[in-house]
Amino acid sequence: MPERILVALGGNALVRAGQRGTIEEQRANSDRALAGIVPMIQRGCQVVITHGNGPQVGHILIRVEAARHQAYDLPLDVCVAQSQGEIGYLLQQSLENLLRQSRIDRTVAVVLCRTVVDQHDSKLAKPSKPVGPYYSEEEALVLQARGWSLVKEAPHGFRRVVPSPEPIRIVETEVIQRLVDEGVIVITVGGGGIPVSAEADGTLHGIEAVVDKDLASSQLAVAIGVERILDLTSVEHAKLHFNSPSEKNLQTVTVGGAKKYLAEGHFAPGSMQPKMEAGIYYLERGGREFIITHTEKALDGFEGRTGTHMFLN
């Protein structure tokens, strides 16, 4: 049986620090981010790709603010849906072109997906998920006066934060499973999925929030029998004592060790913390290995030459 892998791309895979986030930049970054995945597909792996949307959904929110009273407002769940379409299209086209250049005949499909959350989740009242660009302190004060919640992310500046409830299940799990079984490379769970709540009769309603993509990706991975997760981000390793004189790369860790380091506060909320929590969730429910590494080190991480590798024991 071919190995089933989930590759989770961070929002910075398409928009890097210091970039404006233009479509041209995102296209070039997509090519770089996906180049290391092509050899895995070439070896016959069944690949599911998920992605963040922090920079893109943040820019959509800026457009909504700028167009207020001139165009209809967009609730946050619809902003997430828009970002899924934009990013999914860019990744799909980039990957298809890379596969064509390597003479690999595989179908790539984007699945717009929804993630069920609890409408009473206490996290809905506590904005914590960073989205959008960085702002200076002066800009942040103006935006706070407009009712935005912001958090400082040293050394870059301030970012807007929005509610981020826990994912319960991916609505489209069954269709994703069927596509992967048929050999389709699926791009899905964009931005953690469009957050929706479910009534007792099964009716779904959009929720104004952004679900963490790492946690939602692990939830999907468990549901469809993924053997390994490759979580790609802007650093090559998770780190202990981050940004201090005693900073140290974390190369191998067990679930027990990860829980200990989380309790000691080594991993920042909204950054490395949800990745560690996602790895724990996945491995405790049957996953084999959870790998964290830099976007452009995907193949090296997959083959064990770099990255942080998390195992159950």
Per-domain residue ranges of the chain: 4-114+184-194+208-226
Catalytic residue numbers, as ranges: 11-12, 129, 213, 275
- Pairing label, strands 150-153, 157-162: antiparallel
pTM to 2 decimals?
0.92
Based on its alpha-carbon atoms, the radius of gyration of the chain, rounded to whole angstroms, reads 19
Q: What is the pLDDT of residue 51?
A: 97
Say which residues have a Cβ less than 8 Å from residue 168's Cβ, sequence separation at least 6: 115, 116, 117, 118, 219
Which pLDDT value is given to residue 254? 98
What is the structure's pLDDT at 269?
A: 81
Q: Which fold has domain 4-114+184-194+208-226?
A: Carbamate kinase (3.40.1160)
**Residue in the block written with tokens 């909504």:** 64
Token pair 């890379």: residue: 98
Q: What is the pLDDT of residue 128?
A: 83
Per-residue pLDDT of the chain (313 residues; tens, 9 = 90+): 789 999 999 877 888 878 888 999 999 999 999 999 999 999 999 999 999 998 898 899 889 888 988 999 899 999 999 999 999 999 999 999 999 999 999 999 999 999 999 999 999 988 888 887 788 999 899 889 988 899 998 788 998 888 889 999 999 999 999 999 999 999 999 999 999 999 989 999 999 899 999 999 999 999 999 999 999 999 999 999 988 888 999 999 999 999 999 999 999 887 899 999 999 999 999 999 999 999 999 999 999 999 999 999 9
What's at 232, amino acid-wise? L
* CB-CB neighbours of 292 under 10 Å: 27
Beta strands in the chain (DSSP E): 4-9, 46-51, 108-110, 114-116, 129-135, 150-153, 157-162, 169-170, 185-188, 194-198, 204-206, 228-233, 238-240, 248-250, 252-254, 289-294, 308-311
Tokens of 118: 């609890």
Any idea what the Cα angle at residue 180 is, between residues 168 and 110, rounded to 5°?
75
